[in-house]
Amino acid sequence: MADTIVNRVADSALITFDLEQFYQIGQRQTVDLSQWLDQGLVLKEKEFRAQLRAHDWSAYKDQFIALHCSTDAILPAWAPLLVSAFLQPHARKVVLGTLEDLELQLYTEEIVLLDVTPFKDKPIIIKGCSDKIVPKDAYVQLIAKLQPVVKSLFYGEACSSVPLFKKKK
């Protein structure tokens, strides 16, 4: 019996939570408002609207879109809203901001829907390594969702983790 190797991690009640499982499959793309501005800086409403009407929006079919302006143009509040209205029938999701903002929004949607009942009074380790880029704020949101119900929270891997929270008895 002394020669038997026991995997205590596999036999423990510890549950590994991998945020990468919440990654929504699909192409991500940025759409830059400056492409429809005069010299990338000035919005001329008549020309802006005409260019939007003439644009091939089908190129964004089923894509996740981060809508932004890469120049220092001062835009009226309605400009990105109008572009968004053209994108909505084609894109899976449109977010005003960067690709990171888009990714965070996608993770946030998944975390909000997470049923935490299976994690009640369980020790949870939030996996730290990922092949996908998981926004740091997604980890913060996940902790806020799990902490009220779990026994304990760790971050990292089972062999090397950092304790984050332990419920008081």
- Chain segment 130-154, per-residue pLDDT in tens: 777 899 999 999 999 999 999 999 9
Q: How many domains does the chain have?
A: 2
Q: Please state, in angstroms and as integers, the Cα–Cα distance from residue 70 to each residue in 74, 75, 89, 130, following that order.
A: 11, 12, 24, 29
Closest CA to 125 of 101, 154, 145: 154
- Among 40-44, 49-53, 66-70, 78-82, the least confident range: 40-44
73 or 9: which carries more pLDDT confidence?
Answer: 73
- Rounded mean pLDDT, 84-106: 97
Residue 98 lies in a domain: no
72 and 47 co-located in one domain: yes
Domain region containing 108: 8-24+103-166
Residue 163 pLDDT level (bands cut at 50, 70, 90): confident
Task: Give the residue from 47, 68, 91 where a domain finishes.
Answer: 91
- Chain segment 108-124, per-residue pLDDT in tens: 999 999 999 999 999 99
What is the DSSP secondary structure assignment for residue 78, as one 8-state letter? H
Residue 97 lies in a domain: no
Residue 2 pLDDT level (bands cut at 50, 70, 90): low
**Residue 162 pLDDT > 90:** no
112 and 60 co-located in one domain: no
Task: Give the residue from 61, 91, 121 where a domain finishes.
Answer: 91
51 and 66 co-located in one domain: yes
74-84 in b/e form (b: 16+ CB < 10 A) is ebeeebbebbb
- Chain segment 69-93, per-residue pLDDT in tens: 999 999 999 999 999 999 999 999 9
Structure tokens at 45: 């409403």
